[in-house]
Copies of this chain bind each other. A is one copy, B any other.
Amino acid sequence: MSLTHFGEDGAARMVDVSAKPETARIAVAEGVLAMAPATLALVREGRVGKGDALGVARIAGIMAAKRTADLIPLCHPLPLSQVALDLDPDDAIPGVRLAATVRTTGRTGVEMEALTAVSVAALTLYDMLKAADKGMVIGGVRVRLKDGGASGRHEMP
């Protein structure tokens, strides 16, 4: 097996997808931002009106999804038809669970767009909370669901 993003001479390239049909595609990615319980309490307070950190992170994630091909060198540009982000505080972590759903009609999948939305939303939340908590960790960033295109549906266990 070899990596498709590199030619026979080992040179990186944006692979040719011009022969692929345009199909409806969806990807769902997820991740968590783990934090101290007191930090999570601050997030929850903001939610009820004194500073909506989750709302800011959601916007940052949506905007980042649209810039994925600008950030990831060998990623194809795609006209996204939907981006949505769920950000849920969870005491069991403790921290915030993030999930992004992205759709397009195009020649390549949208996993990278969903993963980028989750990553930048988590970074944005980190930025707003870092004065209160220097030990936060972003983790569990992965693709949960992918559908559309030749490789079919993949749902992670």
A: residues with CB less than 8 A from B are: 1-7, 10-18, 24, 31, 38, 42, 46, 49-53, 55-56, 58-60, 62-67, 69-87, 103-107, 111-112, 115-116, 119-120, 122-124, 126-132, 134-143, 146, 154, 156
Contact across chains for A10 and B83 when beta carbons are under 8 A apart: no
Contact across chains for A82 and B14 when beta carbons are under 8 A apart: yes
Which one of B12, B66, B107 lies within 8 Å of A81 (CB-CB)?
A: B107
Residue of B nearest to A102 (CB): B14
State the number of copies, please. 6
Dominant secondary structure of chain A at its interface with chain B: mixed
A99 to B: closest C-beta gap in Å: 11
Cα distance, A126 to B127, chains bound together (Å): 24
A44 to B: closest C-beta gap in Å: 12
Which one of B65, B67, B115 lies within 8 Å of A126 (CB-CB)?
A: B115
> B residues within 8 A CB of A111?
130
Cα distance, A142 to B133, chains bound together (Å): 11
Contact across chains for B76 and A79 when beta carbons are under 8 A apart: yes
Residue of B nearest to A125 (CB): B72
Contact across chains for A123 and B127 when beta carbons are under 8 A apart: no
Cα distance, A4 to B124, chains bound together (Å): 14
CB contact under 8 A between A116 and B107, given known A31-B138, A55-B55, A74-B62? no
Which one of B12, B31, B51 lies within 8 Å of A56 (CB-CB)?
A: B12
Contact across chains for A3 and B73 when beta carbons are under 8 A apart: no
